[in-house]
Chain A
């Protein structure tokens, strides 16, 4: 983190809901230059950034993306189709989204057997799409991050059809705090989706690799590090009264 941070890719995070601020903070801590954008009132975003993501730059989405090397999609999937997809042209895009019919409603495009990131990649045909960080609960992303070499460090997988994209995002995810298991295609990344064998589970590398290869999950493979209770499915005003 000390050496060579000047050469790190510039990051744009789209979304300042549950996930975006956490991603942005992790990236800032690892030395990345980070901008953040939302569809909401710029004054609200400025306040959120000042208090929750100090050090990040609040920007309009098109500007943030234009100046970034790497873009993180941390918005609800049903908002994705409303974006101007040409903004992402030529960019490396990290898809951290999941398809939750229970909070997205039914999205016809995502109803087939293909993985949600495959559909995203089809819509962003002139970008490099990498599926990453979708299967760790947002409240755990910071709590479980550890520096490389820490014993029992939590593992996560990234998936892409692009070898260079895979390698760039592997480096990013390792820097922000996780052991990375690269999967060589977005089709292979289907295993990371909600309901899949690793979704929400806290696993170190050996157990993670074993689990991805052999379903169903042996109960003993689940490690201790932290709670896996509230995953990404918890939508916004969660309630309470209404979990």
Chain B
């Protein structure tokens, strides 16, 4: 394998992720939570028609991301599609019960005839902790224990487990059984090397969430993951990257639609999350060739995806599309352009030998 080429053992795949970003109408007024959720169903159905491989819904509990029960929405999409894989992006496992998560997604797997996936996260938007009565002080133990139990549940067969974060299980048969073994499960990681090693130890796939700075700096994490898989005697597994973005006919249009909503969203969450409020200049940098925002025309975005998949030795790219306030129509256009133009172009770029850069 030449340096810079993508590992051949896993097929390339391309996904979309949404947090149920509350849509705006043509006049900029927010539409209802309910309408936003119905729109997400239409977006998932269109994603399959546009040739996209995966559609993921991230758990959130806020007025601007009214999406606490993504699995229900995924079931509706499953009933109207045949090929696209459907999953969480992410499930906040720390504030959920691993048994229930397994049951919900193995039910989705049944409905969709084997198209379910799960991306587990520890949660950096932490609104689910007080909502479900969990203590943030237990953040790390909650995730470690629950991820370990989830790995056991995925194996199928009766589970015996004991820990501090939920009641023990003894030879417990957990239904529904899957028809053909475990469904793909990933851990979403934001840049902590210990989390990368945990994903390898438990045999989960690795999804790198990159929302700021140069994505190429995560290259060492892919290598760390591969080496850790070897060390733990696990088979090699694919690496994904997830980043936010927006695609429109031209760079200018994409920026114009995305930027004010991105600024408003980050300004809203900045005090709690320690983000600086983006400026015109910082946004231009992030949306430029070295940043982590995939905003622009199909060609601009395709070039950037291809470059970063190569840098990270990753075989899956998930575009987190949408932003609170964007219209459903703009999102549908984004999905069509991503499926019909960006993905074929990325495949074409990656089929060429890597340039020396």
Contacts of B143 in A (CB 8 A): 237
User: Of B38-46, B157-165, B191-199, B297-305, which binds chain A?
Assistant: B191-199
> B136–A103 contact, CB under 8 A?
yes
> A241–B121 contact, CB under 8 A?
yes
Contacts of B285 in A (CB 8 A): 224, 226-227
Interface centre among A21, A202, A226, A231 (most CB of B within 10 A): A226
Interface centre among A200, A230, A240 (most CB of B within 10 A): A240
Residue of B nearest to A200 (CB): B276
Interface centre among B56, B59, B273 (most CB of A within 10 A): B273
Residues 161-211 of A contacting B (Cβ, < 8 Å): 194-195, 199-202
Contacts of B168 in A (CB 8 A): none
> A18–B192 contact, CB under 8 A?
yes
Contacts of B211 in A (CB 8 A): 229-230, 234, 238, 240, 243
Select one of A78, A106, A222, A232 contacting B279, CB under 8 A: A222
> B190–A238 contact, CB under 8 A?
yes
User: Of A40-48, A89-97, A148-156, which binds chain B?
Assistant: A40-48
| Interface status of B64 (Cβ within 8 A of chain A) | no
Select one of A40, A47, A229, A242 contacting B275, CB under 8 A: A229
**Bound: A157/B233 CA distance, A:** 46
> A17–B192 contact, CB under 8 A?
yes
Main secondary structure of the interface of A (DSSP, over half): loop
Contacts of A234 in B (CB 8 A): 124, 190-191, 211, 273-275
| Interface status of A233 (Cβ within 8 A of chain B) | yes
**Bound: A110/B326 CA distance, A:** 40
**Bound: A121/B98 CA distance, A:** 41
**Bound: A211/B168 CA distance, A:** 55
Given A237-B192, A241-B19, A243-B124, residue A102 in contact with residue B212 (CB < 8 A): no
Chain B proximity mask over A55-87: 1 for CB below 8 Å, otherwise 0? 000000000000000000000001000000000
| Interface status of B224 (Cβ within 8 A of chain A) | yes
> A228–B282 contact, CB under 8 A?
yes
Contacts of A228 in B (CB 8 A): 275-276, 278-279, 282
| Interface status of B137 (Cβ within 8 A of chain A) | yes
Given A201-B276, A233-B275, A242-B60, residue A105 in contact with residue B139 (CB < 8 A): yes
> A143–B213 contact, CB under 8 A?
yes
Contacts of A222 in B (CB 8 A): 279, 281-282
User: Of B86-94, B308-316, B347-355, which binds chain A?
Assistant: B86-94
> B124–A236 contact, CB under 8 A?
yes
Contacts of A195 in B (CB 8 A): 271
Select one of B136, B188, B227, B231 contacting A104, CB under 8 A: B136
Main secondary structure of the interface of B (DSSP, over half): mixed
| Interface status of B217 (Cβ within 8 A of chain A) | yes
Residue of A nearest to B94 (CB): A237
Contacts of B271 in A (CB 8 A): 195
Given A51-B220, A51-B224, residue A242 in contact with residue B192 (CB < 8 A): no
Select one of A142, A223, A232 contacting B217, CB under 8 A: A142
Contacts of B137 in A (CB 8 A): 78, 104-106
Residues 22-39 of B contacting A (Cβ, < 8 Å): none
> B212–A230 contact, CB under 8 A?
yes
Contacts of B320 in A (CB 8 A): 240
> B227–A47 contact, CB under 8 A?
yes
> A47–B197 contact, CB under 8 A?
yes
Query: What is the distance, in angstroms, from A109's C-beta to the closest C-beta of chain B?
Result: 13
| Interface status of B152 (Cβ within 8 A of chain A) | no
| Interface status of B78 (Cβ within 8 A of chain A) | no
> B212–A103 contact, CB under 8 A?
no
> A44–B197 contact, CB under 8 A?
yes
| Interface status of A116 (Cβ within 8 A of chain B) | no
Query: What is the distance, in angstroms, from B146's C-beta to the closest C-beta of chain A?
Result: 12
| Interface status of B173 (Cβ within 8 A of chain A) | no
Residue of A nearest to B195 (CB): A237
> B191–A48 contact, CB under 8 A?
no
A interface, CB within 8 angstroms of B: 16-18, 21, 38, 40, 43-44, 47-48, 51-52, 78, 98, 100-106, 137-140, 142-143, 194-195, 199-202, 219, 222-224, 226-243
Give 8 A-B contacts (CB < 8 Å), ordered by A residue.
A18-B190, A21-B193, A138-B191, A219-B279, A227-B286, A235-B126, A240-B207, A241-B91
